[in-house]
Chains A and B, each alone.
Chain A
Amino acid sequence: MFSKKTAEQIKFETRPNRVGAKAFYNNPKYRGWIYQSVLFVFLIGFFYSIVSNTLDNMSAQGIKSGFSFLNTSAGFDVLMSLIPFDTTDSYLQIFIIGILNTILVSVIGIIFSTILGFIFGIAYFSRNWLINKIAVIYVEIFRNIPVILQVIFWYTVFNALPIARESLNLGDAVFLNVTGLYFPKLVGESGSGVVYGAIVVAILAIFAIKRWAKKRQELTGEQFPILWTSLGIFFGLPLLALLITGLPFHLDYPALKGFNFKGGISVIPELISLAIALSVYTGAFIAEAVRAGIQSVPQGQTEAARSIGLKESKIMSLIIVPQSMRVITPMLNSEYQSLVKNTTIATAIGYPELFTVFAGSALNQVGQAVEIMFMTLAIYFVINMVISLVMNHFNKRTELSAR
Chain B
Amino acid sequence: MSVKQFKPLPAQPAPIMTAGPIAWVRDNLFSSTFNIIATILIIGSLVAVLPGMIDWLFISANWSGTSQSDCVKDGACWVFISAWSQQIFYGSYPTDELWRVNLCLFLLAGVIALSFILPDRLRNKVAVPAFLLLPFIGLLFLDGSMIGLPQVTTNLWGGFSLNVLLAAASIIIAFPFGFLWALGRRSDMPFARSVSVTCIEFFRGTPILALFFMGSVMLPLFFPADVNVDKLLRVWIILVLFMSAYMAEVFRSGFQAIPSGQYEAADSIGLGYWQKTLLIIFPQVIKVSMPNILATFVMVFKNTVFLLVIAVPEMLQVIMSALSNSNWLGGHAIEGYLFVAFIFWACCFSMSLLATSIEKKLDTSHNK
Using known A-B contacts A58-B221, A130-B29, determine if residue A7 contacts B188 with beta carbons closer than 8 Å. no
Q: Is A131 an interface residue (CB 8 A)?
A: yes
- From A134, A153, A355, give the contact of B210 (CB < 8 A): A355
**Do A342 and B302 have beta carbons less than 8 Å apart?**
no
Query: How does the 8 Å CB contact mask read for A92-136 relative to B, with 1 for contact and 0 for none?
Result: 000000000000000000000000000000000011111100100
Q: Is B18 an interface residue (CB 8 A)?
A: no
Query: How does the 8 Å CB contact mask read for B29-46 relative to A, with 1 for contact and 0 for none?
Result: 101000100110011000
- B residues less than 8 Å from A6 (CB atoms): 188
- From B35, B206, B217, give the contact of A341 (CB < 8 A): B206
- A residues less than 8 Å from B309 (CB atoms): 347
Where the two chains meet, the residues of B that have a C-beta atom closer than 8 Å to any C-beta of A are: 24, 27-29, 31, 35, 38-39, 42-43, 188-192, 195, 202, 204-210, 213-214, 217-218, 220-225, 263-264, 267, 270, 272-273, 298, 302-303, 305-306, 308-309, 316, 333-334, 337, 340-341, 344-345, 348-349, 352
Closest to B246 in A: A334
**Do B225 and A53 have beta carbons less than 8 Å apart?**
yes
Q: Residues of A within 8 Å of B, CB-based: how many? A: 58
Q: Shortest distance in angstroms between A161's beta carbon and chain B's nearest beta carbon? A: 16
Using known A-B contacts A35-B192, A144-B352, determine if residue A127 contacts B210 with beta carbons closer than 8 Å. no
Describe B's contact surface by its main secondary structure: helix
**Do B189 and A369 have beta carbons less than 8 Å apart?**
no
**Do A32 and B188 have beta carbons less than 8 Å apart?**
yes
Top 5 nearest A-B pairs (CB, nearest first) are A129-B28, A144-B348, A341-B207, A344-B209, A146-B305
**Do B210 and A376 have beta carbons less than 8 Å apart?**
yes
Using known A-B contacts A127-B35, A144-B344, A144-B349, determine if residue A344 contacts B223 with beta carbons closer than 8 Å. no
CA distance A370 to B345 in the complex (A): 36
**Do B39 and A128 have beta carbons less than 8 Å apart?**
yes
Q: Shortest distance in angstroms between A238's beta carbon and chain B's nearest beta carbon? A: 32
Q: Is A39 an interface residue (CB 8 A)?
A: yes
**Do A373 and B210 have beta carbons less than 8 Å apart?**
yes
Q: Is A141 an interface residue (CB 8 A)?
A: yes
- From A11, A60, A128, give the contact of B225 (CB < 8 A): A60
Q: Shortest distance in angstroms between B298's beta carbon and chain A's nearest beta carbon? A: 7
Query: How does the 8 Å CB contact mask read for A136-149 relative to B, with 1 for contact and 0 for none?
Result: 00001101111111
Using known A-B contacts A43-B195, A355-B210, determine if residue A380 contacts B333 with beta carbons closer than 8 Å. no
Q: Is A36 an interface residue (CB 8 A)?
A: yes
- A residues less than 8 Å from B308 (CB atoms): 148
- B residues less than 8 Å from A28 (CB atoms): 273
- A residues less than 8 Å from B24 (CB atoms): 129
**Do B333 and A130 have beta carbons less than 8 Å apart?**
no
- B residues less than 8 Å from A156 (CB atoms): 333-334, 337
- From A36, A126, A153, A370, give the contact of B218 (CB < 8 A): A370
- B residues less than 8 Å from A11 (CB atoms): 267, 270, 272
- From B28, B188, B303, give the contact of A127 (CB < 8 A): B28
Q: Shortest distance in angstroms between B246's beta carbon and chain A's nearest beta carbon? A: 10
User: 10 A-B residue contacts at CB 8 Å?
Assistant: A127-B28, A128-B29, A128-B31, A129-B29, A134-B42, A140-B352, A146-B305, A355-B209, A377-B214, A380-B207
**Do B207 and A337 have beta carbons less than 8 Å apart?**
no
- From B205, B221, B264, give the contact of A385 (CB < 8 A): B205
CA distance A8 to B31 in the complex (A): 63
Q: Shortest distance in angstroms between A360's beta carbon and chain B's nearest beta carbon? A: 9
Using known A-B contacts A36-B192, A355-B207, determine if residue A148 contacts B222 with beta carbons closer than 8 Å. no
Q: Shortest distance in angstroms between B48's beta carbon and chain A's nearest beta carbon? A: 15
Using known A-B contacts A7-B267, A57-B225, A153-B337, determine if residue A144 contacts B209 with beta carbons closer than 8 Å. no
**Do A57 and B205 have beta carbons less than 8 Å apart?**
no
**Do B345 and A8 have beta carbons less than 8 Å apart?**
no
- From B28, B205, B264, B352, give the contact of A381 (CB < 8 A): B205
